[in-house]
Amino acid sequence: MRQPLSTPSQLRESALCTLQIEQAAIGGLQAKLDENFDHACQLMLACQGRVVVTGMGKSGHIAGKIAATLASTGTPAFFVHPGEASHGDLGMITRADVVLALSNSGETAEVTALLPLLKRLGTPLVSMTGRPGSTLAQHSDAHLDSGVEREACPLDLAPTSSTTAALALGDALAVALLEARGFTAEDFALSHPGGSLGKRLLLRVSDLMHDGSRLPQVALGSPLRDALLEITRQGLGFTCVVDSEGRLAGVYTDGDLRRTLDQHHDLRDVQVDDVMTRPGKRIGPDILAAEAVRIMEDNRITALAVVDEQQRPIGALHMHDLLASGVI
């Protein structure tokens, strides 16, 4: 009978042993990649429908994660429980699909029960098992060997290193397909619009800028007093300064005000033209908000004028807007 671990050092030693076994399991997959992996990728790239991923028990949990990873990286996929498939959910699978079935033993009854039905449909089958000679492997169009020497579980019973290896092999499959499709970061963001990555990659300056009556601006020749009132009224820490044709001539910022106070003791006769920053940092409305962050950080500023093709101000963007949107 095994003695329970009793000291912190024993617990850490156990954890290190588990990580070493699982690391070896993943490393062992490299030698197992062969033409079957190539064929599996080709089947999925040619798929006109969806990749249907299935598995029972712990393999089912891994299958669900693989399906989610495939779906978010350009390969439409979903998970089907093999037990439910035999009771009606098989109707979710069509001839246009590809099935990816996981079973460490390759003999899981709920999974092998699907074989005759898949063959009748003519649906291509890719399997991932730890036994190339198993029933599931032998009846597959392509077999991915995820076998490991032993489980990290000291009883060699609980799926541990075998599920880690299957998960890693699923990631390798998803990434290979991603690269084969030319999947981009923007493509990824389209399926993750609620996450911070999606916001960084999809939000544009026009989505966040202050426009219309919220755009701070004064005309060239205006008294500095008017510029200060506009900055205070809009609360963005700067104002655009426009010429007679409405084009951006420069900006006047909180930083400019500090410099003005150092140089002028009496502000009553100062015009904004004399103390503004020319030509002023600016950005187009269709530029990604992430690019606006870079410009602000590189120039150590907190706001940008947004201009159209004729260099007329159409909006103002502040660092606070980027923070509030999750871009930063």
Q: Which two tokens stand for residue 35?
A: 């033409």
What pTM value is reported for the model? Answer: 0.64
268 residue type, one letter = R
pLDDT tens for the chain, residues 1 to 328? 566 766 888 888 999 999 999 999 999 999 999 999 999 999 999 999 999 999 999 999 999 999 999 998 889 999 999 988 777 677 889 999 999 999 999 999 999 999 999 999 999 999 999 999 999 999 999 999 999 999 998 887 789 999 999 999 999 999 999 999 887 766 666 665 556 566 666 788 999 999 999 999 999 999 999 999 999 999 999 999 999 999 999 999 988 898 888 887 677 888 898 899 999 899 999 998 888 999 999 999 999 999 999 999 999 999 998 888 877 7
Rounded Cα distance, 283 and 304, in Å:
7
Note the pLDDT of residue 92. 87
**DSSP H helix total and E strand total for the chain:** 16, 11
Distance (Å, rounded) from C-alpha 111 to C-alpha 54? 8
Spell out the domains of the chain, with CATH numbers in brackets. Answer: 8-183 (3.40.50.10490), 205-325 (3.10.580.10)
For residue 74, which phi and psi values (nearest 5 degrees)?
A: 100, 0
Confidence (pLDDT) at 288: 86
Query: Residue 204 has what DSSP assignment?
Result: B
Token look-up 């998970």 returns 79
If phi > 0 it is left, if psi is from -120 to 50 it is alpha, else beta; for residue 246 that is: left
Torsion of CA 86, 92, 94, 99, to 10 degrees: -70
DSSP β-ladder status, 51-55 and 282-283: unpaired
Amino acid 33 reads L
Residue 190: predicted pLDDT: 61
Distance between CA atoms of residues 142 and 177, nearest Å: 15
What Å distances lie between residue 5 and 8, 36, 51, 157, 263, CA to CA?
Answer: 8, 43, 44, 19, 74
pLDDT of residue 41: 97
What Rg value do the Cα atoms of the chain yield, rounded? 31
